[in-house]
Amino acid sequence: MQKILLTVDKISTFTGQAFSWLIVSLTFLITYEVFSRYALRVTHPDAFDAMLMMYGTLFMMAGAYTLSKNGHVRGDVLYRFFPPRVQASLDLTLYILFFLPGVVAFCWAGYEYAGESWAIGEQSSITSEGLPIYPFKTIIPIAGVFILMQGIVEIIRCVQCLRQGKWPSREVDVEEVDVDELKEMVHVKDEDIDKLDEFVTRKKEGGK
């Protein structure tokens, strides 16, 4: 079972990382459009639509990835102090009552929404020959399926935690920098940082 859960984690991770490259494309597109508008005095009406579609695609396809890393925003002021079984009970209840109905509705509505868009060959209304929107709207049900698949994995993890009393492992990805470990690696102490701050402060005051 754990291999299956980790396999789904890997799929969500790969999908999120693959679509994260849209950030690079989006950055280049915005940079070029700004340069073109202010330096060349040439505007591209479709550029704004393209930016919205790229960002929307990135946002939706990163949902399953974020869920697989337990990275979605939660009100964990008290949650993090609870023992694992209590956390799992709360998560399982919320997944069943809210997550599953919401995501299933999202997938179904997105499927119909995309189907109507394909049927009429929907295009952007910004220009007379705007960009086609139906490929972008197809991302909605696809993203929903990925999120639903990852959500089922999280529900299974909740059940395992209730049985075992601890959270099962998940696919490891990028981790946040541990400041204390970084200080040890570069042999820097808090006293050294304080001295550097004082030196910079004196320099600023002396330059006024």
Return the domain boundaries, the chain. Answer: 2-175, 178-208
The answer to whether the Cα torsion of 197, 203, 205, 208 is positive or negative is negative
Which pTM value belongs to this model? Answer: 0.80
| pLDDT, one tens digit for every residue, the chain (208 residues) | 888 999 999 999 999 999 999 999 999 999 999 999 999 999 888 888 999 999 999 999 999 999 999 888 877 778 888 999 999 999 999 999 999 999 999 999 999 999 999 999 999 887 777 899 999 999 999 999 999 999 999 999 999 999 999 999 887 765 555 556 656 766 667 777 777 677 767 766 665 5
What residues are paired with 4 via a beta bridge? Answer: none
Contact criterion met (CB below 8 Å) for 123 and 129 = yes
